[in-house]
């Protein structure tokens, strides 16, 4: 039984759907961190 199989369209659409969510989450975390550092410096 092959464990490694060709990528299915479902996997591709799943990745294309979740990658922007991860990027947006990381971006919002960076903005929160930057905002907190600016507040602590002020």
pLDDT 10s digit of each residue in the chain, 42 long?
Answer: 566 778 899 999 999 999 999 999 999 999 999 988 887 766
Helices assigned H by DSSP within 1-42: 9-41
pLDDT value of position 35: 87
pLDDT value of position 2: 62
How many residues would you count in the chain? 42
pLDDT value of position 7: 86
Report the predicted TM-score, pTM, of the whole model to 2 decimal places: 0.61
The structural domains of the chain, with segments of one domain joined by +, span: 10-42
């Amino acid at each position: 039984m092959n464990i490694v199989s060709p990528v299915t369209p479902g996997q591709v659409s799943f990745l294309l759907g979740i990658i922007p969510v991860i990027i947006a989450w990381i971006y919002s975390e960076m903005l929160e961190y930057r905002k907190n550092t600016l507040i602590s410096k002020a």
